Amino acid sequence: MGLRILDGKLFARMFKGGAAFLHSKKDTVNKLNVFPVPDGDTGDNMSMTMEGGVNAVESDAKEESLGKVSGDLAKGMLLGARGNSGVILSQLFAGMAKVFDGCPAADVATVGEALKVGVKQAYSAVVTPTEGTILTVARESVDYAVSRIDSESTIESLFDDLTYEMNNSLKRTPELLKVLAEAGVIDSGGAGLVYIMEGFTKVLGGMRPEEIDSYGAEEKKSDDVDFSAFDENSDLEFGYCTELLIRLQNKKTNPATFDVVIITDFLRTVGDSIVCFKQGSIVKVHVHTKTPEKVLEFCRKFGEFLKVKIENMSLQHNETVAVEAEMKKKSRVKYATVAVASGEGIEKLFTELGADFVIKGGQTMNPSAEDFIRAFDRVNADCIFVLPNNGNVVLSAKQAANIYEGSRVVVLNSTTLGDGYAALSAINYEPDDPDVIADEMNDAMKNVVTCMLTTAIRDTTLNSVEVHTGDYIGFIGKRMLTSDPDLICACRSVLSEMGLDEKFALTVFAGAGTSEEDNAELERHVNETYPDIEVYLVDGGQEVYNYILIAE
């Protein structure tokens, strides 16, 4: 006899099973990238988005209310969402949570209605939904599964039907999206969703999540943390990166009316790099302090800890932490700009051009909504302009803007580093109207052309260009321009497609692996072939891309 009711405990186990199975298959999803470049990160993005949900409920193992569990999952995913597929995934579960809100449990019909609302909300997260993607896979499978619900249906049969049609829909994605057919792949986001649902069905079939995959328990390499960085004679120079999740308790305070300013004001007396916000009855705290015990003592006055993480920042190898350690919250200002960039030279230049905070990320490292929220808190401005500088980061930035309550946040549609570079060059904070400033930045992006060059990781054909593994490929947006075994020859080909006759400047960001000889040859070619163009060669230091060419 199958299950007729879905409660919170079961939904939490199913979710963890889905997260676990996706985690085990994330590299497979990454490799489904349409473009044959070494930056496929859909699997990582979706897995980390699911991890945000897992972390939100891992301390509520005894919670049985479906409404409570689904709400916590949705909040965790919204904050942890990365990349377009991650944001769409988080919105799918957020829509489901709306139907489950206040429900101790749900019957099959209610679960089906939740799935339909989830699909509707996922579609609404995208301004112009594209069929043949994760959206299609979700919609077609939910329509199919819900249409088969009858008096004999069970939770197991519903998710079996859902998973069955998801696989069918995924196989059809190349028929709906020409670029998938040309590249010879299925949609990566849709594949990730299929793995999640297959994890759901494995749990319904009796498996425990930890049997599916050792989720989140990957062993760290021995060189990930250098303990010699803090020995017997070291001084505590940077302090501790301290992060807490606190569940407010009725016996200690009123969770509904509690104001996090109480905690924020205290944190300012013991540390910096402060982030503190409230979601329901949970308060998330991030602070850099030399006295974490004081933070724990103070915060426990209002609730109990769901999660505590304290790390000695002298041992951190993540450069983001080092930047955070130096970045103290500023005094309140009228305007500020947050930009996303990767590569030491690019980050430095963006800062010099006027970015108040640069989030390290972009290709292969899509920042989460929570990363943006931390940045918004640090710049501390009435109005914050955001330059995502990557098409796969825009939705996360917008999701963070919708969540953040401390400022007005304006997310500009900068989908390339060239867009961000041009917008920063045009920053003018003199107008009193933020819309005027945003319009000026948008105008600056209109005539910019950005071309990327990297190494192909597989054979394929795109835009009638035959691509061979190991070749240097160049493309503008989604348009493949060239594939050549010689880097400089590839550069020459793409330069001829950038419309330089109508441009006045070319900025070249040289990647971490480029040689001085190649840089000099490229600069010489531009000077000789396009004498009216001013060329600026910048040591960008970016990974993945040999060159990023920006024409203005």
Same domain, 453 and 438: no
Same domain, 441 and 453: no
Q: In the prediction, which pLDDT does 323 show?
A: 39
Mean pLDDT of 124-139: 92
Residue 217 placed within a domain: no
Same domain, 77 and 108: yes
**Cα→Cα distances 324→212, 320, 347, 378, Å:** 36, 6, 14, 9
What's the CATH code of the domain at 311?
Answer: 3.30.70
Same domain, 180 and 40: yes
Same domain, 431 and 369: yes
Closest CA to 395 of 42, 37, 22: 42
Rounded Cα–Cα distance for residues 112 and 70 (Å): 15
Q: Is the pLDDT of residue 327 over 50?
A: no
pLDDT by residue (tens digit) across 54-113?
988 865 445 679 999 999 999 999 999 998 999 999 999 999 999 999 999 999 999 999
What's the CATH code of the domain at 82?
Answer: 1.25.40.340
Burial 59-95 (b: 16+ CB within 10 A, else e): bbeebebbbbbbbbbbbbbbbbbbbbbbbbbbbbbbb
Q: Is the pLDDT of residue 302 over 80?
A: yes
Nearby residues of 161 by Cβ (< 8 Å), 6 or more positions away: 144, 145, 148
Q: Is the pLDDT of residue 40 over 70?
A: no
Q: Is the pLDDT of residue 361 over 50?
A: yes
Nearby residues of 143 by Cβ (< 8 Å), 6 or more positions away: none
Residue 231 placed within a domain: no
Residue 218 placed within a domain: no
Q: In the prediction, which pLDDT does 330 show?
A: 65
Same domain, 188 and 45: yes
Query: What's at 21, amino acid-wise?
Result: F
Residue 410 placed within a domain: yes
pLDDT by residue (tens digit) across 246-264?
899 999 999 989 998 899 8
Q: In the prediction, which pLDDT does 214 show?
A: 52
User: What is the span of the domain harbouring residue 68?
Assistant: 5-211
Domain boundary among 257, 289, 315: 315
Mean pLDDT of 366-371: 90
Same domain, 297 and 354: no
Percent of the chain at pLDDT exceeding 90:
60
* pTM for this prediction: 0.76
SS3 sequence, 67-124?
HHHHHHHHHHHHHHCEHHHHHHHHHHHHHHHHHHCCCCEEEHHHHHHHHHHHHHHHHH
Q: Would you place residue 218 in the very low, low, confident or very high pLDDT band (cuts 50, 70, 90)?
A: very low
Domain boundary among 290, 315, 340: 315
Same domain, 184 and 59: yes
- Terminal C-alpha separation, the chain: 67
Task: Measure CA 198 to chain center.
Answer: 23
Q: Say which residue, 437 or 221, is predicted with more confidence.
A: 437
Give the range among 173-187, 269-283, 468-482, 528-542 with minimum mean pLDDT: 269-283
Mean pLDDT of 20-32: 89
Domain boundary among 429, 445, 461: 445
Mean pLDDT of 422-439: 92
Q: Say which residue, 7 or 219, is predicted with more confidence.
A: 7
Q: In the prediction, which pLDDT does 70 show?
A: 94
Same domain, 455 and 359: no
Same domain, 344 and 273: no
Residue 223 placed within a domain: no
Residue 229 placed within a domain: no
**Mean pLDDT estimate for the chain:** 87
What's the CATH code of the domain at 356?
Answer: 3.40.50.510
Residue 165 placed within a domain: yes
How many CB atoms sit inside 10 A of residue 164's CB?
16
Q: How many domains does the chain have?
A: 4
Q: Would you place residue 189 in the very low, low, confident or very high pLDDT band (cuts 50, 70, 90)?
A: very high
Same domain, 39 and 185: yes
Q: Is the pLDDT of residue 358 over 80?
A: yes
Q: Say which residue, 330 or 519, is predicted with more confidence.
A: 519
Report CA Rg, the chain. Answer: 25
Closest CA to 130 of 65, 197, 78, 179: 179
Same domain, 253 and 337: no
Sign of the CA dihedral with 103 first, then 109, 112, and 113 last:
negative
Residue 163 placed within a domain: yes
pLDDT by residue (tens digit) across 154-178?
999 999 999 999 999 999 999 998 8
